[in-house]
Structure 1
Amino acid sequence: EGDVITFVNDPDAPGTPDAIYMSYEDFPKDVKVGERVLVDDGKLVFEVVETNGTDTVRLKTLHGGILKPRKGVNLPNTKISLPCLTEKDLHDLEFILTQPVNWIALSFVRRPKDVEDLRKRLDAAGHPAKIIAKIEKPEAVEKIDKIIKKANGIMVARGDLGIEMPYERLPIVQKQIIRKCIQWARPVIVATQMMESMIEQPGPTRAEVTDVANAVLDGADAVMLSGETSVGKHPTLVVEAMRRIIEEAEKAQDFEGRRPVAVPKSRTFLSDVVCFNAAKTADEVGAKAIVGMTSSGYTAFKVSSYRPNIPIYIFSDQMHMLATLNLVWGVRCYYYDRFTTTDETIADTCEILKKNGHVKEGDVVVNTGSMPIEKRYRTNMMKVT
């Protein structure tokens, strides 16, 4: 603590106890005196005392430790010029565009344009993958409403976000982002350190159990494991434990009074009203299932956003969409390509649910769809059977 070290951006410079290579070329240009530099997930903390703006930055050690090679760097106070899509990202994207992937997670999103740039590349390649914006920077939190509108889904990536902003703010920010995603019918994932202790231990801490349960109760579509399953000693145990926590928390979910409302005069207002009333009617009549037909996935995303207390069964003839919707809260998918008339399709899909044991004779089912069904209009119809 108190030592002054130098970061240089010359890859040929020899590493010494006083001088360290930093691979980010614009680091000296971006940082300003007084800004903090965090290394290795915040284990080491430095403060900028001098920069020449080209190739050298001097830093004072605020919290020292062992600096290992190839560790990540966080700049919580710095407006960085590094593009969201780096050269490596673009190289990786070339390969991704040749694969039938359903979701692409975009790291370190800072503004809506970052999502738009990736979207343009996907559209130009004719690729149907949807975009998850990873929220890891305070700048993204400030622009979260616009980012949510541009992205197809959101990940609350608490690892870097908890380093880049005061950690005491993280629980509130997480809840706010989940609430906004539900409002805009975007699936939201909560990630990082959910069951961290199980990297080594065979069971979670009580705090971790509560953390997972609270994410479920807040309405997250998914909770994600990382180190627990990639390098942990108990990958199957941690998945089983998380599943039990999720299932128990889901029994106590109650979204009454928290459901978003359809926005009048919006382009999708009619469909939104039908989807909202499908969820509401299902609760009021004690339905066992909600059924929807979709090609774009919009009906599934929207009905799910109203968080009905029963499964949502989606039928589609778009194979990629079936896999995409696996991420969405409460949705289960079936491939279906026998669209004839609306009534025949409703009868047929209900029969499929019966054969698979999801409903039985006498159960109430709320159906949504379009009329005439062969025209594939937006959802404009609801029928209780």
Structure 2
Amino acid sequence: MPRPRLNEARTKIVATVGPACDSVEQLADLIEEGVDVFRINSAHGTIEQHAQKLANIREASKQTGFPVGVLMDLAGPKIRLGELSAEPLYCQLGAKLAFVRGTEKCNDGELTSTYPRLIDELKKGDRVMLADGTVSLQVHAVTPTRAECVVVAAGEIRSRQGINLPGVKLSVAAMLPSDIETAIWAAKNEIDFISLSFVRSAEDVRSLKDLLNSYECRALVIAKIEKPEALDDLDRIVQEADGIMVARGDLGVEIDVAETPVAQKRIIATCKRFMKPVIVATQMLESMHHSARPTRAEASDVANAVIDGTDACMLSGETAIGEFPRESVATMNRIMRKTEEHLLGSLQFPCGDIEEMHRTTQAVTRAGIEVAEAIGSKLIAIATHSGGTAWVKSNTRSLIPTVAVSDHLASVRRMNLFWGIEPIFCEDIEDTEHLIEQVSRWACHQTEDGESIIRPGDTMVVVSGSDIVLGADNVISVHTLS
């Protein structure tokens, strides 16, 4: 049965494209297993390589008939180590190391970084975290040419690994020239979502949106929360962005790892309050890099994100470089379905007004859900040009299966991030009879274990528009599937 399917998880799956899954055949397999959005990580590869990945994704989408979304993840001002004198370098507890200027390989006991102003902005007492936080240094003295440090948590480091500076206020720009180049390429190639790394303020988000607007790009901007400053300005960032990613990798290094679970719940709750989609990312099924099965803790991690109210969960290395990309997607889909099946009926999330949405559309959409619940409808169909009406329905967390039909392929792809929405493309949604025929044909072919999910005689509630109220869906109709 081709996608979209009514029996798949309502919570969406984002999967990172990499060497383990970047062929058309492999990408098509992941779509069939439940991927809704593919992520291209601009931190790895060139524009030409990104273009090849995008072409393969579009071809896989064409072959499967499912208009999968694409997210371009901008690398942002990630600070990295330069070349080390030894590879790898073991940092002994109590050993003295010094950061010096430049990026070239230097003497033993010296480190360099890709950030030219690092020494200028460090001060005595600052912490420097290396290798995803496994190695920790403390700054003991700073001179115009060196920052002397002592190892306070031992471990192994390698060239080009990331540097995290918890509590250090950096003057680095939100977007590097390479990020701007990538964003412009994404805008010109109709990428659906663009995420900004290391967001520190709402102004960072606005700078990217202004850049995209100058190219008349309608991609949704996703702000990645991975800095303490972002948590301090969380409300404004969520309001400014089109969506949020809880980037737990760097966030868990920048703040105390013990605070990360609570921070995740706070970010998701804030997104629900402002009705913005949210993605939970990093190490969700980490052990599936090398194992066909996840740990019980990882399964619980995915389930808890669903219970908290996330719209999507993201796979990173599991699909990009792991040995079991297809199994990782299938496992995540299964965990989501089981969690939703047993727990989501009792969960309630706030559903306020979306400021940019027509109030009539919001009222009619919610009324359509009430009608469907009152008469026991098996399906809600929403006609939408931009996807806004579907987003209102998604935020109610109603469990009634919902198909959103749009005549804009870009809108169909963007709706792949909306919780509980199965998007379908239809060339003419103004012709209500044609729309109902298309949805009915699709719905009656939905089966599970050989049994039809939707049967002739079941009712379907359709939310659509008329010419009476411009720019709004203002019609609710009930139809019997034949």
Normalising by structure 2, what TM-score?
A: 0.74
Identity of aligned residues (%): 33
Return the offset for 1:111.
0.9
Residue in 1 that maps onto 2:242: 152
Higher relative contact order (CA 8 A, sep 6+): 2
Per-residue CA deviation, residues 219-273 of structure 1 (Å, 9 max, x unaligned), is 2121111111222222222222222211111202335562323349986443323
Alignment map for 1:311-330 (pairs within 5 Å): 311-330=401-420
Residue in 1 that maps onto 2:344: 254
Pair 1:175-2:289 in alignment: no
Aligned counterpart in structure 1 of residue 462 of structure 2, from 367, 370, 374:
367
Tell me how far apart the structure 2 counterparts of residues 340 and 79 of structure 1 sit (CA, whole Å).
53
Return the offset for 1:183.
3.0
Residue in 1 that maps onto 2:335: 245
Residue in 1 that maps onto 2:54: none
What letter corresponds to residue 110 of structure 2 in structure 1?
Answer: A
Return the offset for 1:109.
1.0
Aligned counterpart in structure 2 of residue 351 of structure 1, from 430, 440, 463:
440
Residue in 2 that maps onto 1:21: 112
Aligned counterpart in structure 2 of residue 50 of structure 1, from 141, 144, 162:
141
The more displaced of 275-284 and 287-296 is 275-284
Tell me how far apart the structure 1 counterparts of residues 231 and 463 of structure 2 sit (CA, whole Å).
35
What letter corresponds to residue 424 of structure 2 in structure 1?
Answer: Y
Per-residue CA deviation, residues 30-85 of structure 1 (Å, 9 max, x unaligned), is 22221211011001101122223x54322121112222110101111111111111
Q: Do the aligned residues in 2 keep the contact of 1:186 with 1:301 (CA within 8 Å)?
A: no
Per-residue CA deviation, residues 142-171 of structure 1 (Å, 9 max, x unaligned), is 222211111111111111111111122211
The more displaced of 187-196 and 259-268 is 259-268
Return the offset for 1:339.
4.0
User: Residues 183 and 256 from structure 1, CA distance in 2 versus in 1: closer, same or farther, beyond 3 angstroms?
Assistant: farther
Return the offset for 1:123.
0.8
Residue in 2 that maps onto 1:209: 299
Normalising by structure 1, what TM-score?
A: 0.91
Aligned counterpart in structure 2 of residue 41 of structure 1, from 129, 132, 145:
132
Residue in 2 that maps onto 1:4: 96
Q: Do the aligned residues in 2 keep the contact of 1:283 with 1:309 (CA within 8 Å)?
A: no
SS of 2:348's equivalent?
A: coil
Tell me how far apart the structure 2 counterparts of residues 101 and 266 of structure 1 sit (CA, whole Å).
22
The more displaced of 78-87 and 251-260 is 251-260
User: Residues 382 and 159 from structure 1, CA distance in 2 versus in 1: closer, same or farther, beyond 3 angstroms?
Assistant: same
The more displaced of 252-261 and 197-206 is 252-261
Return the offset for 1:338.
2.4
Q: Do the aligned residues in 1 keep the contact of 2:381 with 2:462 (CA within 8 Å)?
A: yes
Cα RMSD of the aligned pairs, angstroms, is 2.3
Return the offset for 1:295.
1.6
Q: Do the aligned residues in 1 keep the contact of 2:275 with 2:352 (CA within 8 Å)?
A: no
Tell me how far apart the structure 2 counterparts of residues 283 and 274 of structure 1 sit (CA, whole Å).
14
Return the offset for 1:350.
4.6
Q: Do the aligned residues in 1 keep the contact of 2:288 with 2:328 (CA within 8 Å)?
A: yes
Residue in 1 that maps onto 2:251: 161
User: Residues 265 and 355 from structure 1, CA distance in 2 versus in 1: closer, same or farther, beyond 3 angstroms?
Assistant: closer
Return the offset for 1:139.
1.2
SS of 1:83's equivalent?
A: coil
Residue in 2 that maps onto 1:337: 427
SS of 1:368's equivalent?
A: strand
Q: Do the aligned residues in 1 keep the contact of 2:426 with 2:435 (CA within 8 Å)?
A: no
Tell me how far apart the structure 1 counterparts of residues 324 and 238 of structure 2 sit (CA, whole Å).
35
Return the offset for 1:9.
2.3
Residue in 1 that maps onto 2:221: 131
Pair 1:381-2:475 in alignment: yes
Tell me how far apart the structure 2 counterparts of residues 34 and 149 of structure 1 sit (CA, whole Å).
35
Return the offset for 1:383.
3.2
Residue in 1 that maps onto 2:210: 120
Q: Structure 2 unaligned runs (5+)?
A: 1-92, 447-452
Residue in 1 that maps onto 2:62: none
Tell me how far apart the structure 1 counterparts of residues 210 and 163 of structure 2 sit (CA, whole Å).
29
What letter corresponds to residue 289 of structure 2 in structure 1?
Answer: I
Tell me how far apart the structure 1 counterparts of residues 155 and 336 of structure 2 sit (CA, whole Å).
38
Tell me how far apart the structure 1 counterparts of residues 160 and 356 of structure 2 sit (CA, whole Å).
48
SS of 1:46's equivalent?
A: strand
Q: Do the aligned residues in 2 keep the contact of 1:9 with 1:23 (CA within 8 Å)?
A: no
SS of 1:220's equivalent?
A: coil
SS of 1:367's equivalent?
A: strand
Q: Do the aligned residues in 2 keep the contact of 1:148 with 1:184 (CA within 8 Å)?
A: yes
Per-residue CA deviation, residues 83-118 of structure 1 (Å, 9 max, x unaligned), is 111122112223223312111111111111111111
Return the offset for 1:314.
0.9
